[in-house]
Amino acid sequence: MVFQDDDELRFGRTIGGRVQTAPGRRFAILRCAKIKTLGNMGASLQHTFRERETPNADPARRTDNTVLIGGTDSAAVLDAWRARAPEKIRANAVHGLEYFVGGSPEALKAMSRDQQDAYFRDALNWLKTRHGAENILSAVIHRDETTPHMTVMTIPLDQQGKLNARALVGSRQQLSAMQTDFAKVVGQAHGLQRGLEGSRATHERVKRVYAHISDPEASVSLPERRRGGFMGRGGETEAEWRERATEAVTEALAGVQHALRRERRDRAAETEALRQRLQGSPDQQQVNQRLERQVARLKAETARLHDRLAKVKDEADAYHLNALKLDAAREVILTHAIAFVRDHGLDEADMLARMEAGLNEALAEFKPVQQEQVGTEHDAVQKTRQRDEGLDHGD
């Protein structure tokens, strides 16, 4: 049994069972997988959005994929799950139900893209009716693998708002009825019919594949050649034996490859969970970012204040120097004035009083100009601080 798509193998063992198809027939395919932890959901969503290696997906065709519902990355869908999830969750609760919607490869390839889209949208509407539109977290059509298909992630909430996957897919009867209803409501309108119940042979092949998934290092047992009866009559030909042996090896390799991919997905999910714990919740990240912006503004303001302080200090030093020069000039003028008054027999007291008043008036006009310049710098600093404080409140 060869799996052509990565999703085909990923959904091969599901709670919905595996439907066997027959060559030349057109089947509607619906599978459902339980997502038991948020880490598993993250890993599956990373596959959905091609955030991790997907061996069977063609990177050149990734732009052909279409997001019908939800965010465009795994983080956005996980946030949507958290927004819908109840506060109290049982330890063994199923966190999500992921659906695979497809069809027989020959049937889907015979459809135009518009016909494929119509089929997938009808399937999505069927799932909305089944789960409630508000509980559909993500729906993505993949066209970068061999056969077009749709992957839908849901949160299984019951009418009380509790996680309750059992109410939807808890029994074989429910699963069988789900397959029948899907084929009738969705498939028939697009020329697709319900698949046959999986035969024991198909079940055993899936079982062998997953035996190698559980134990990738298990040895591959080649089947013995059927020798037949008398004179070898009825025995197996060399070509028939090689076909069976090839199938056994193919099943083993499929199991080993999937086990390795699952191991990589689990490790990536653990790494992402650890990264989120280290960085904190999205709300905390927003707080941290806001604080970082405020710190950056405070540093910038401090630098501006430092520059302005240096400028004001230089101007204050210049003002002080000018004041010393003026005082010295004043003393020189007064000294020469006293000598002049005495030499010419003038009223010394009256003359000195007038000169003192004139000098003081001149100095008084000079000092406010210097003080006004210093005050202007101070006002500019205050306005800058008020503006930045307003921005902080805006955060």
Q: Give the confidence band of 156 by pLDDT, cuts at 50, 70, 90.
A: very high
Please check whether residue 337 lies inside any domain of the structure. Answer: yes
Same domain for 137 and 235: no
pLDDT at position 20 over 70: no
Q: Which residue has the tokens 């999986």?
A: 198
Please check whether residue 290 lies inside any domain of the structure. Answer: no
Query: What mean pLDDT, rounded, does the chain reach?
Result: 77
Please check whether residue 286 lies inside any domain of the structure. Answer: no
* Lowest mean pLDDT, pick from 67-71, 132-136, 213-217, 359-363: 213-217
CATH code of the domain covering residue 35:
3.30.930.30
Same domain for 219 and 121: no
Q: Give the confidence band of 372 by pLDDT, cuts at 50, 70, 90.
A: low
Residue at a domain's end among 180, 197, 214: 197
The pLDDT tens digits for 199-217 are 444 445 555 555 555 555 4
pLDDT of residue 334: 75
Residue at a domain's end among 245, 279, 313: 279
For residue 102, list its beta bridge partners. 29
* Percentage of the chain exceeding pLDDT 90: 33
Q: Give the confidence band of 251 by pLDDT, cuts at 50, 70, 90.
A: low
pLDDT at position 5 over 80: no
Same domain for 332 and 257: no
Same domain for 178 and 322: no
The pLDDT tens digits for 109-140 are 999 999 999 999 999 999 999 999 999 999 99
Residue at a domain's end among 225, 244, 279: 279
pLDDT of residue 22: 47
The Cα–Cα gap between 163 and 96 comes to 8
Strands (E) located in the chain: 28-35, 66-69, 96-103, 136-142, 149-154
Please check whether residue 345 lies inside any domain of the structure. Answer: yes
The Cα–Cα gap between 336 and 333 comes to 5
Please check whether residue 284 lies inside any domain of the structure. Answer: no
Same domain for 214 and 168: no
Neighbours of 28 (CB within 10 A): 27
Please check whether residue 293 lies inside any domain of the structure. Answer: no
The Cα–Cα gap between 2 and 9 comes to 9
Q: Among the residues of 49-112, which ranges form H helices?
A: 74-84, 105-110
Q: Give the confidence band of 336 by pLDDT, cuts at 50, 70, 90.
A: confident
Same domain for 117 and 29: yes
Within 13 Å and on the Cβ side, how many CA atoms surround 168? 25
Q: Give the confidence band of 18 by pLDDT, cuts at 50, 70, 90.
A: very low
Domain count, the chain: 3
The Cα–Cα gap between 209 and 214 comes to 9
More confident residue, 16 or 278: 278
Helix, strand, coil tally for the chain in percent (to 5): 65, 10, 25
For residue 123, the enclosing domain spans: 1-197
Same domain for 191 and 325: no
* Lowest mean pLDDT, pick from 12-21, 48-57, 156-165, 191-200: 12-21
pLDDT of residue 1: 34
* Percentage of the chain exceeding pLDDT 70: 66
DSSP state of 194: P
* Lowest mean pLDDT, pick from 65-69, 230-234, 235-239, 326-330: 230-234
77-86, 246-255, 256-265, 307-316: which is most confident? 77-86
The Cα–Cα gap between 260 and 262 comes to 5
Same domain for 163 and 205: no
The pLDDT tens digits for 271-318 are 777 776 666 666 667 777 888 888 888 888 888 888 887 887 777 777
* Lowest mean pLDDT, pick from 13-17, 109-113, 170-174, 354-358: 13-17
Same domain for 174 and 38: yes
The Cα–Cα gap between 144 and 69 comes to 18
More confident residue, 280 or 81: 81
173-177, 230-234, 248-252, 308-312: which is most confident? 173-177
Q: Quick check: 194 and 174 in contact, CB under 8 A?
A: no
More confident residue, 226 or 137: 137
Same domain for 68 and 40: yes
Please check whether residue 218 lies inside any domain of the structure. Answer: yes
Please check whether residue 67 lies inside any domain of the structure. Answer: yes
Same domain for 135 and 55: yes
pTM of the model: 0.51
DSSP state of 157: B
pLDDT at position 35 over 50: yes
Same domain for 82 and 10: yes
* Lowest mean pLDDT, pick from 220-229, 282-291, 334-343: 220-229
Q: Give the confidence band of 346 by pLDDT, cuts at 50, 70, 90.
A: confident
pLDDT of residue 352: 73
The pLDDT tens digits for 169-187 are 888 889 889 999 999 999 9
The Cα–Cα gap between 158 and 147 comes to 33
